[in-house]
Amino acid sequence: MPIKSSNLSYAHLFSGVDATVPLLDGSERKYISLDNAASTPALKTVQHAVNNFLTYYSSVHRGTGFKSQISTHAYENAREIVIQFVSADPETNVCIFVKNTTEAINKLARRFPFTNDRNIVLSSGMEHHSNDLPWRTNANTIHIGLTQDGQLDILDIEAKIEQYANQVALVAITGASNVTGYINPIHHLAECAHAVGAQIVVDCAQLAPHRKIDMLPPDNPKHFDYVAISGHKMYAPLGTGALIGRRDTFERGDPDLTGGGTVEIVTLDEVVWADPPDREEAGSPNTVGAVALAAAIKQLEALGMDNVAQHEADLTAYALIKLAEVPGLKIFGDKNPKNANERLGVIPLKIDTIPHFLVAAILGYEFGIGVRSGCFCAHPYILHLLELTSSEAEAVRDTMLAGDKSDMPGLVRASFGLYNTFEDIDALVEALHKISKGDYTGEYVQDDSTGEFTPKGWQPIYDDYFSLSVLE
């Protein structure tokens, strides 16, 4: 298998990727962000679209002025672009703009037509909390099992669907894990759900920036009923996501938020709700965020999602090969670089005897590399991957609830974006080699209440890099 098989570089398409940051030794270094599963930097096309739009920014819907009309046009055009991006049928589906995937799934959980007969949601043990906790609040949630290495247990979900067939209302599953990068067989799961009269929602927060999403026509048994995406994970960090799903779900009942923009008419005695999506978007919307999300989608489509996936697969394969050479380092999930095309570029790892919080701190303070450490809003999944027993997990829980997170279980996560390069991976691997040998200079102090480490006696001056008190 060739190493560094791709010579493509997309870094020139992004804003801020050449920024330098201060290091503990007093020097500065170009920042390397390997925390893309959390949030991504902005594409330059997004920045340009937003800057151009701000000239005409105004209120949307019902305004008679030109700026209001052009803002409404841009907002509704953005909605059309999102629908096309996920190949949704605009006649039977609606796009509702929200802040992020978390809000999208919470909205669906409150608006889904559960009944006394059908009130079970099948979720999984690998879900981000955003696709788990809302269902626990609004339905009877049953979790699908996992294999030892953290993949979805397909036999278990098929068995549970058969076991609870007439009671299952919804299958709520992630398109790809934000911890291990595993991609789930979501169209197969959709077919299983529909076979028993249930629906499916796919959390595409992780999948959408890296793979083509195809909801399929509603008469196809493999179609998705609902999809949720987040702009801040798709190189559009201006606070907009989208819930795309069945129009008939949102035509019935009351909206979960009420107020301006949600109604056709109001009297002192009566309220007539507007048709969706308006009834689901209370108050003045984030028009700028919608424009940003649409601009990011147009850029990704211009590049081609297959090209996006291949570039990131090349990075992942290379990283898995090089990381395996670091003494004492363990990779969780699929370690085989030959499978890089079948997963996302999300790699969870740990170094023996060195706390995950400390590894992440040293990478940031001494090497200018941004990663994430902890449980990544997927606590049950991390406990499974670390193979903690029930008693061990309970002991950790009690300690954390007592205010001590110093020994909180967790991992370090490196996650790749379209702008990352092989050189970024080389820098990460070199730093991890040094950390594994204890070759770092700082004396680090841990805050037991958060578990995080900071270098003793040193603090960067953030106002030297950005300050709201200095306006140019």
Which residue numbers are catalytic? 377
Whether omega before 455 lies within 30 degrees of 0, making that bond cis, reads no
* Alpha carbons 184 and 142: distance in angstroms, whole number: 18
Q: Taking the CA of residue 129 as centre, how many other CA atoms within 13 Å lie in the half-sphere pointing to its CB?
A: 7
CA pair distance 392, 195, nearest whole angstrom: 39
Residue 148's Cβ-count burial label (10 Å; 0-12, 13-18, 19+) is exposed
Residue 19: helix, strand or coil by DSSP? coil
Alpha-helical runs (H) found in 348-446: 356-367, 379-385, 390-401, 422-436
d(CA 130, CA 63): 35
Alpha helices in 408-450 (DSSP H): 422-436
Q: What is the dihedral of CA 277, 140, 138, 85, to 10 degrees?
A: -30
Please state, in angstroms and as integers, the Cα–Cα distance from residue 253 to each residue in 108, 119, 171, following that order.
12, 17, 22
> Tokens standing for 233?
């994970």
Burial of 458 (0-12, 13-18, 19+ CB in 10 A): middle
SS3 of 327, please?
coil
Cβ atoms of 183 and 191 within 8 Å: the answer is no
Packing angle of the helix pair 154-163, 186-195 (nearest 10 deg): 10
Contact yes or no for 155/146 (Cβ under 8 A): no
d(CA 134, CA 105): 7
Q: How many CB atoms lie within 10 A of CB 239?
A: 17
**Ramachandran class of 384: left when φ > 0, alpha when ψ lies in -120 to 50, beta otherwise:** alpha
Q: Both tokens of residue 400?
A: 């954390």
